[in-house]
Amino acid sequence: MTKDILILGIETSCDETAAALVKNGREVLSNVILSQIDIHEKYGGVVPEIASRNHIYDISGVVDEAINQANIKLDDIDAIAVTYGPGLVGALLVGLSYAKALSFAIDKPLIGVNHIEGHIFANFIEHKELEPPLISLVVSGGHTHLVYMENYDNFQILGATKDDAAGEAYDKVARVLGLGYPGGPKLEKLALEGTAALEFPRAMIHEDNLDFSFSGLKSAVINYLNKMNMTNQDINKADVAASFQQAVSDVIAAKAIAACKANGVTKLAFCGGVACNTFLRENLASASSENGIEFYVPSRILCTDNAAMIAARGHYSYLQGNTSGLALNAIASLKIGAKEVQI
Ligand code: KG4
Ligand code: ZN
């Protein structure tokens, strides 16, 4: 019988302080997430310095809680996986410093994890039978990527946004509609009351590449609202929300299906915070089934930032012997698939 591998994951790249214990890369023993949303809400977005300070207050208690909930001892851990980028550098440094200190204290290896690769691995936790090769559509507040994964350690970026990430566009459009932060879930709720009656642009949808652009869509919504205001016309905010969401959905579905077809891949794995969105989940599921593609998406708690996905990604690095030294530094703009875990 092979020995179980237990990884402690730590995540502090943005405004969630999170720690989790994952067994054999797929079984979540604990998944503790302390969100700072309430703290940042009044500023209309994440304030980096405030995020870092709160991670400092919370990290120790969150890791202790993850260990207690998993009912394990520190010595049972095989390795500590920690997000070292991309993200807010001050926020990343809190989790990374904590992980380094713990790694040194308990003499267990440290594994630096790329946050975006972590999002992809949420699907492996949710779908125990899922294996590469696959195409992953990563849609979060900071990223919109189509990634071809040939195996667990190979990530090829097929396309990415040229400007705003889809989640960023959701948040900005929500702000101009007066919905507050974080905008994605609020805009989704409002869209349920409207119809996609307005024609907003679907940038790059017919271009022969797998890249995205959402800044033109965001500007088109702002221009529409300004024009309506200047001419004293009533605005149906729910229709604006539904029309915006339909435009996002059309583009990401078209590009994701094209990515699968171009690479002869029959599995599409959706992930990232925006993958919480029911409308997008349903549209991608039906576009996939119409094209003979198997569609995968994690449960919502694994879509937004969490440390279980970081531990899962770390597990596969551990199997390859890809551990990091204590000189590992935070890299705010770390690229997916980057191998330079040490600088
Ligand atoms: O992955 P995530 O938790 O953090 C990053 O790595 O960026 O994603 C956060 C993003 C935010 O832009 C948020 O508005 C968006 O995910 N989001 C949603 C929904 N829930 C979260 N966007 C659309 N609909 C949702 N239901
Ligand atoms: Zn994220």
**Sign (positive or negative) of CA dihedral 281, 160, 25, 276:** negative
Q: Cβ(221)–Cβ(173) under 8 Å?
A: yes
pLDDT digits 0-9 by tens, 180-225: 888 999 999 999 999 999 999 999 998 999 999 999 999 999 999 9
Burial zone of 5 (CB within 10 Å; 0-12 exposed, 13-18 middle, 19+ buried): middle
The predicted structure's pLDDT at residue 343 = 44
The chain-wide mean pLDDT, for the chain, equals: 96
| Three-class DSSP category at 152 | coil
Residues 58-77, mean pLDDT to the nearest whole number: 98
Residues 84-90, mean pLDDT to the nearest whole number: 97
- Distance separating alpha carbons of residues 266 and 243, to the nearest angstrom: 29
Q: Kindly state the tokens that stand for 315.
A: 């597990």
Which residues place a Cβ less than 5 A from the ion ligand 2? 140, 305
- In CATH, what number does 129-297 get? 3.30.420.40
85 lines ligand 1 (CB under 6 A): no
- Distance separating alpha carbons of residues 244 and 85, to the nearest angstrom: 30
If one counts every other C-beta atom within 10 angstroms of the C-beta of residue 34, the result is: 18
- Distance separating alpha carbons of residues 89 and 84, to the nearest angstrom: 9
CA of 304 to the centre of ligand 1 (A): 6
What number of helices (H) and strands (E) belong to the chain? 11, 10
Segments making up each domain of the chain, as ranges: 6-121+303-319, 129-297
Q: What is the position in ligand 1's atom list of the atom closest to the CA of 276?
A: 26
Q: Among the CATH numbers 3.40.720.10, 3.60.15.10, 3.30.420.40, 2.60.40.10, which is that of 6-121+303-319?
A: 3.30.420.40
For a substitution probing ligand 1, which of 31, 138, 304, 333 has the most ligand atoms within 8 Å of its CB? 304
Look at residue 337 and tell me whether its pLDDT is greater than 90: no
- Distance separating alpha carbons of residues 104 and 84, to the nearest angstrom: 17
- Distance separating alpha carbons of residues 33 and 40, to the nearest angstrom: 16
**Sign (positive or negative) of CA dihedral 205, 208, 209, 215:** negative
The pTM of the full predicted model, rounded to 2 decimals, is 0.96
Indicate if 129-297 has the same CATH topology as 6-121+303-319: yes
- Distance separating alpha carbons of residues 341 and 183, to the nearest angstrom: 33
Name which residue sits closest to atom 7 of ligand 1, judged by CA: 141
- Distance separating alpha carbons of residues 255 and 249, to the nearest angstrom: 10
117 lines ligand 1 (CB under 6 A): no
Q: Cβ(163)–Cβ(215) under 8 Å?
A: yes
Indicate the range of 141-150, 152-161, 206-215, 334-343 predicted with least confidence: 334-343
Q: What is the position in ligand 1's atom list of the atom closest to the CA of 303?
A: 1
- Distance separating alpha carbons of residues 98 and 100, to the nearest angstrom: 5
Look at residue 339 and tell me whether its pLDDT is greater than 80: no
